[in-house]
Amino acid sequence: MKSFMKVSPLRLLDMSVEKKLGPGNLGVLIARAGVGKTACLVHIAFDRIFSGESLVHVSVEETPDKVASYYNVIFYDMIKILELENEEDLRLMVERNRMILSYVKGSFSVDRLRRSLGNLKQNLSFAPQTIIIDGLDFEVTPREFFEELKGLSKEFSTETWLSALSHRHKLTKNEEGIPYPCSEIDDLFEVIIHMDPTTEGVYLKLLKDHGHTLGQHVSVRLDPNTFLVVS
């Protein structure tokens, strides 16, 4: 999967000091509605799976079928664009190393996730290195929740990626330049990425890289159709 790795959105982190999110840490993608947070998270998932890791994809309020269909669409696009031949092997690799956990009707909690991860480990010997959480409403989620989530990441030695919805009309930023809805809780995240759609493509801009000072415009440009790195 070398060809995919070269164009995976996580190449953004190659330009960072730490080069990765790391176990026990939280990372977040911030973007407005429709920009492609889920697609980007799915690409991150593929990046981790094809690197030989296992992953849990947590969906808040969407069913597993919907989540799986995101993966399928992006997978088959990728196969076509990158002209990959070992489709069946790759598909099996994804199936074996990805677990979708869906929490609907307000069921999501860190405790429930902890129990599920425990069950996966005990009964299936499935211990993910990465957790993706998509669909969490940052506007109504208290700080304590993210603190607990960070605790869980450390407990299970996973790196946890989340998506956060921003709004056109809510432009507040904190002193570090971190926009709403993460401006009050940015201390809990080691990596913060902003997705900015332009006419040339979607820019992934690194806003926080652990505690390091960032140079100007650490970013990559993604093809808006494939979410693969163009430059």
Q: Report, in Å, the least distance between residue 130 CB and other proteins.
A: 16
CB nearer other proteins, residue 102 or residue 166: 102
Q: Which of residues 38-77 bind other proteins (CB under 8 A)?
A: 63-64, 67-68
Q: Which of 100, 133, 185, 204 binds other proteins (CB under 8 A)?
A: 100
Number of residues that bind other proteins (CB under 8 A): 24
Q: Are 15 and 218 in contact (CB under 8 A)?
A: yes
Token couple for 17: 């000091």
Beta carbon nearer to other proteins, 119 or 172:
119
Of 33, 83, 105, 140, the one binding other proteins by CB under 8 A: 105
In the complex, the smallest distance separating the C-beta of residue 8 from other proteins, rounded to whole angstroms, is 24
Report the alpha-carbon distance of residue 170 to residue 179 in Å, rounded.
Answer: 9
The answer to whether residue 123 forms part of the interface with other proteins (CB under 8 A) is yes
Closest to other proteins by CB, 136 vs 182, is 136
Exposure string for 19-53, b = 16+ CB within 10 A, e = fewer: eebeebbbbbbbbeeebbbbbbbbbbbbbbbbeee
DSSP sequence for 2-41: HHHHHH-GGGGGGGSSS-S--TT-EEEEEE-TTS-HHHHH
- In angstroms, rounded to a whole number, what is the distance separating the alpha carbons of residues 99 and 129? 12
Retrieve residue 79's tokens. Answer: 């196969």
Q: Does 162 bind other proteins (CB under 8 A)?
A: no
- For the bound state, the minimum distance from the C-beta of residue 69 to other proteins, rounded and expressed in Å, comes to 12
Which residues of this protein are in contact with other proteins, per CB under 8 A? 63-64, 67-68, 95-96, 99-105, 107-108, 112, 115-116, 118-120, 122-124
